[in-house]
Amino acid sequence: MLSQGLLLHTQPARHNNQPMDFPCIDKLETRQRDLLSGPEPTYDKIVTGYKTYTHPQFTCDHGGQLSQMRIAYETWGQLNAQKSNAILIHTGLSGSSHARSHELNKSAGWWEKFIGPGLAIDTDKFFVICTNVIGGCYGSTGPSSFDESGARYATSFPLLTINDMVRAQFHLLDHLGIAKLHASVGASMGGMQSLCAAALHSERVGRLVTISACARSHPYSIALRFAQRQALMADANFNRGHYYDGVQPHVGMKLARSIATVTYRSGPEWELRFGRRRQRPDQPPALCPDFLIETYLDHQSERFCLQYDANSLLYVSKAMDMFDISHSVTQRLDRQRADNQRACTSVCLDASEQPASDQGHSGVETSEEIRADLVRGVKAAMQPTLVLGVQSDILFPVRQQKEIADILRQAGNTRVTYYELDAIYGHDTFLIDVVNVGAAIKGHLENTH
């Protein structure tokens, strides 16, 4: 009896701990319920006031053909009689054509303080064009567009390259009657596009500006974008990209954007801006956003998750991963596209029938061979060139902009200017540092020498 009594006495009492609150999960569940009863996504309501040009039968580098390709664009300033003052602005991954406000859309553009009368890109002097890249969701043909049967392309949309995006933009320039640009200007993925335009359409580009970009994607940035895509595709609502008649993969998109936002800014900026401060320091720690840096990431990703198409994020980010201006890669893509066009003279592939592509890397291994291949890839890019890098950029470190400047010089371009900015804003410096980035761009575009 004594032993049983001792046994009963030593049994642990049930704890009185309070369960943790999860307001961040409550918010996701509420949005899930709202989306179940809500309308299909309409990204055209996010950006308005653009024009479109439709081009017939666009063949993509990796196979598949669009029976028609639509590209959305906006313009500012006046095209002169000679049509020689046009500047093409290339966007980053999720950028729209709305770079600056205008009468048809008075909301501020993503480069509002850089484009306009007397600004870095002076609309009193230049006719400025900005497009939404194909594969996007703000007016240009992409995965969320409808095919000939009236169904969404979804993941039957053909894989794209940066070269495809640029080729589509030059079809637009043909439509506008612009034989040669005064300049091709871009940052981030836009800087990839501007370099591609200058190298592959050199006779049609007068000046080159490439900011916080690269000549070929490097493993670190590829890994970061891969992590974003994996987070997105793991969302139960993703449904292999066929989610348009159901709930969008909003949780995966929010996680993907959180990862991306970490790469867009810098540790030094966040030390100054947030430090280790908590939102409610007088409350116990929480597993939902607690530190100010966590609330910032949560806010940024919350804003984005329903404003951009998930499939567009997959397709456009993959095109960034595959970018390589090397001569051997460009030649291989050209051959693939020519083969695809010949195939379409008899039995034409649609967007869902994509032949296997052998394009993955330049096919050379030693650093000397890689550099030589890159130099050959830009041998036609002899324009006056401005290359800008930012010391705090972790997504596109400055060594990648130095590589662009170096290969252009090795190719024989004697008019390359390289600036390295000591800004704390990381990759997003091109959106924020109006004084330094703006002055460099303005000086380059208006230099008459």
Q: Which residues are catalytic?
A: 188, 393, 427
**439: which 2 tokens?**
């002055």
Contact of 112 with 76, CB cutoff 8 Å: no
CA distances from 398 to 93, 131, 401, 427 (A): 19, 27, 5, 10
Contact of 117 with 123, CB cutoff 8 Å: yes
User: Where do we find the tokens 């007088």?
Assistant: 282
Give the number of other Cβ atoms within 10 Å of residue 310's Cβ: 27
Q: How far apart are CA 417 and CA 23, in angstroms?
A: 51
Strands 51-59 and 65-76: antiparallel
SS3 438: helix
Q: How far apart are CA 200 and CA 337, in angstroms?
A: 15
**131: which 2 tokens?**
């497009």
For residue 419, give every residue at least 6 positions away whose Cβ sits within 8 Å of its Cβ, in sequence order, or none. Answer: 386, 387, 388, 389, 440
Q: How far apart are CA 432 and CA 449, in angstroms?
A: 28
CB-facing half-sphere around the CA of 115: CA atoms within 13 A: 27
User: Where do we find the tokens 């597993």?
Assistant: 287
β-partners of residue 291 are 278
Helix axes 310-322, 250-264, angle to 10 degrees: 40
Phi, psi at 347, each rounded to 5°? -110, 110
Q: Burial level of 3, CB count in 10 A (0-12/13-18/19+)? A: exposed
Contact of 93 with 313, CB cutoff 8 Å: yes
Contact of 160 with 134, CB cutoff 8 Å: yes
The DSSP element (H or E) to which 190 belongs, if any, is helix 189-200
* Nearest alpha carbon to residue 141 among 126, 156, 123, 125: 156
Q: How far apart are CA 218 and CA 93, in angstroms?
A: 16
